[in-house]
Structure 1
Amino acid sequence: MTAQIACATADLGPEESLLVELTAADGASVPVAVVRDEDGDFHAISDICSHGAVSLSDGEVEGCRVECWLHGSQFDLRTGKPLQLPATRPVPVYPVTVDGDKVLVDIDAPLAAAS
């Protein structure tokens, strides 16, 4: 599968996030947090925190990180690596392409995966 339209660029202002459900090549539904950082760049990261299994798109975005609202874990939007405990495992990060006013995400070619 190739990149899928996740949202429009106008759907997110700086330091905002949005939950989208995309479909993987195997047909599985994948929850993705599409995030716009403070510089206006778009990122796509798994919406599920690796520590508490809650939605990261509901958390605060600051700079190039998102904070889980439940326990305060923070993740780097570029790498998926945890930056603050209690999370110790990274979350998947997906390639993003901006095509005009569309934000496209390729969930079948993760840049980083949880381990």
Structure 2
Amino acid sequence: MSNPQWTDAAAESDIPDDDVIGREVEGREVALYKTRGEIYATDNICSHGQAELCDGFLEGYEIECPMHQGRFDIRNGQPACAPVTEAIRSYPVKIEGGRVFLALG
């Protein structure tokens, strides 16, 4: 397995505790979350209603879509409740020098 290519997505300080922000990273809309001291990343667009998840409500490890209140687990992108049935993509994250890097490949 090859080494992932890491892409700079944001400053760690840009992501508020227990919140989510949206960013465009290499042409992809991603959501960056900080909860319980850890940072996670997923696609920013809900697989059900095409809403931006960065406009949703983060509670623990779940993001609630602002359109139909479906929820995803931000650790792996899996649906957590109806009406969501299709997962979103999650991305590996690493922090270096106060910057958040994602493996998008």
TM-score by length of 1: 0.85
Unaligned 5+ runs, structure 1: 24-28, 109-115
The answer for the alignment partner of 1:57 in structure 2 is: 54
Query: Secondary structure at 2:42's aligned position in 1?
Result: strand
> Residue 30 in 1 paired to residue 28 in 2?
yes
2: CA distance, partners of 1:58 / 1:32:
12
Alpha-carbon offset, residue 100 of structure 1: 2.3
1:5 CA drift (Å): 1.1
Instruction: Tell me the residue number matched to 1:97.
Output: 94
Runs of 4+ aligned structure 1 residues displaced above 2 Å come to none
Matched, 1:4 2:7: yes
Q: Give how far 1:2 is off.
A: 1.4
Q: AA paired with 1:59?
A: G
Q: Percent identity?
A: 32
The two structures, once aligned, show a CA RMSD in angstroms of 1.1
Cα shift readout 1:5-58 (whole Å, capped 9, x = no counterpart): 1111111122111111111xxxxx110001111x11000000010000110011
For residues 37 and 58 of structure 2, what CA distance do their matches in structure 1 show? 12
Q: Matches of 1:105 and 1:64 in 2, distance apart? A: 18
Give the letter for the 1:93 counterpart. Answer: S
State the one-letter code of the partner of 1:80.
G
1-side partners of 2:74 and 2:92: how far apart? 11
* Aligned counterparts of 2:66 and 2:104: Cα–Cα separation in 1: 24
